[in-house]
Amino acid sequence: MASIALPRIALPHRPAFSVGPGRLKALATGRYAGAAAAALVLIATATTLLTLLGPAGHDPNVVRVSLASTFGRAPPGWRETLVPLHGPAQVSQDMIRLSPQPLPPLGGVGWRRSGALLPPPAPGAPLPAAPIAGFFAPGPAGPLPIIAQDGRTPFEAYRRPFIPNGRPKVALVIGGLGLNERATQAAIETLPPEITLSFTPYAEGLQGWIDMARAHGHEVLLETPMEPIDYPDNDPGPYTLMAGAQGPETLKKLEWILSRATGYFGLTNYLGSRFLSSDGGYQTFASAVRGRGLAFVDDGAAGRRAAGGMVRGSAERVIDDQLNQTAIDQQLLALEAGALQRGQALGSGFAYPVTLEKVAQWSRALDQRGFQLAPASALTRQ
């Protein structure tokens, strides 16, 4: 069988990534048109066999290329012309990460992490673009969510659809998004679409981030800054809901937060230990959220609070209170244990790099361990 040794290539203006040891495993049955203007080697010839062997290491034939522009200019159907020689073709993790957006996985294809072959995350069908007609109305600072005339709520319109399969359900909310561009993009693009994402209302270009998240299949929560017990040493910003504020002041601040964007199915707290313990503040908040048909999913700080007529969810643990891989792994295992005991478990975390890495790795094998990854909205209650 013939093989082609791929030379080392470095394309300008793009990050270099290792694609493999210099040989790919697949039988080419079609002609490959030139796709990278800077020197991507073409694979042409109907019976050429390219073999993928182990990690790249220091192989002199390692190819360093970016395929972001390559795939965009490749002729239709070129990938489909690859015919596996023995079973499904293997695509390396590095190749998946060559593009700013992960490539759609081929049927049966996985990638390797620490020697183990794991299934790639399933692609998420885009959620409907926001705003959806009938679920918003003009407000003093922008559009505000409303219940539609037929009684449907923004919670129902913007949540991610979910069909339970009978397995214990595990859900995660990853928050703090919108302020750090790299972390926000990584969360949207690398986490499976069942992971719920929450965004700070102070983010620049907030609507664009929410649109991007929904386009990747993620349902979205909007974070509501609330007064913590150590305020003002810990200050969540100028639109913080204060425990001692009068109702009109709380509603005015809440309307500003709600009008920052559209497309979220509910709210979540940012801090708020003092506000959530205030009966007056919480009741004003709950009444407003209920009246607009939204859900409230907290990080556990309001777990003992009555629903107040809202659609409610409360995380049972924060997975990254301790920022190290071992502690996060233990929290994720504890979340699974809770799902086994009660049929479902909801956790929350922050968009730290280590959290994103561990959650992405954990979620890929969750199905193999007998659980169903669910959006947070699926674990809410009336």
Q: Which CATH number fits the domain that encloses residue 167?
A: 3.20.20.370
Distance CA 14, CA 346 (A): 39
Residue 125 within any structural domain of the chain: no
Strand 143-145, strand 136-138: pairing:
antiparallel
In Å, how far are 4, 49, 50, 74, 335 from 45, measured between CA atoms?
Answer: 11, 9, 11, 17, 52
Going by C-alpha positions, the residue among 241, 361, 352 that lies closest to residue 301 is 241
In Å, how far are 141, 157, 350, 356 from 324, measured between CA atoms?
Answer: 41, 37, 13, 12
Residue 131 within any structural domain of the chain: no
Are 145 and 102 part of one and the same domain? no
Residue 122 within any structural domain of the chain: no
Distance CA 297, CA 348 (A): 10
Are 140 and 87 part of one and the same domain? no
Are 244 and 293 part of one and the same domain? yes
Residue 121 within any structural domain of the chain: no
Are 270 and 148 part of one and the same domain? yes
Residue 130 within any structural domain of the chain: no
Residue 131: asked if its preceding bond is cis (omega within 30°), the reply is yes
Are 215 and 285 part of one and the same domain? yes
Sorted by sequence, the CB contacts under 8 Å of residue 204 that are 6+ apart come out as: 178
Q: What is the pLDDT along the chain (382 residues), one digit of tens a residue?
A: 443 333 333 333 333 333 333 333 332 333 333 333 333 333 333 333 333 334 444 443 333 434 444 444 444 543 444 444 344 444 333 332 333 333 333 333 333 333 333 343 344 689 999 999 999 999 999 999 999 999 999 999 999 999 999 999 999 999 999 999 999 999 999 999 999 999 999 999 999 999 999 999 999 999 999 999 999 999 999 999 999 999 999 999 999 999 999 999 999 999 999 999 999 999 999 999 999 999 999 999 998 888 889 999 999 999 999 999 999 999 999 999 999 999 999 999 999 999 999 999 999 999 999 999 999 999 999 7
Helices in 196-299 by DSSP H: which ranges?
206-215, 247-258, 279-291
Q: Which two tokens stand for residue 63?
A: 């190819």
Are 244 and 375 part of one and the same domain? yes
Contact 360, 93 (CB under 8 A): no
Residue 205 within any structural domain of the chain: yes
What is the number of structural domains in the chain?
Answer: 2
Distance CA 345, CA 171 (A): 6
Are 198 and 91 part of one and the same domain? no
Q: Report the greatest alpha carbon distance in the chain.
A: 79
Going by C-alpha positions, the residue among 266, 275, 320 that lies closest to residue 297 is 266
Are 92 and 196 part of one and the same domain? no
Are 74 and 151 part of one and the same domain? no
Of 74, 95, 111, the domain-final residue: 111
Q: What range does the domain containing 38 cover?
A: 1-111
Sorted by sequence, the CB contacts under 8 Å of residue 32 that are 6+ apart come out as: 42, 43, 44, 74, 78, 81
Are 158 and 266 part of one and the same domain? yes
Q: Which two tokens stand for residue 19?
A: 């694609």
Q: Is 39 helix (H, G, I), strand (E, B) or coil?
A: coil
Strand 317-318, strand 143-145: pairing:
unpaired
Are 190 and 228 part of one and the same domain? yes
Bridge partners of 225, per DSSP, are 270
Q: Which amino acid is at 221?
A: L
Distance CA 44, CA 318 (A): 52
Are 84 and 219 part of one and the same domain? no
Residue 266 within any structural domain of the chain: yes
Residue 34 within any structural domain of the chain: yes
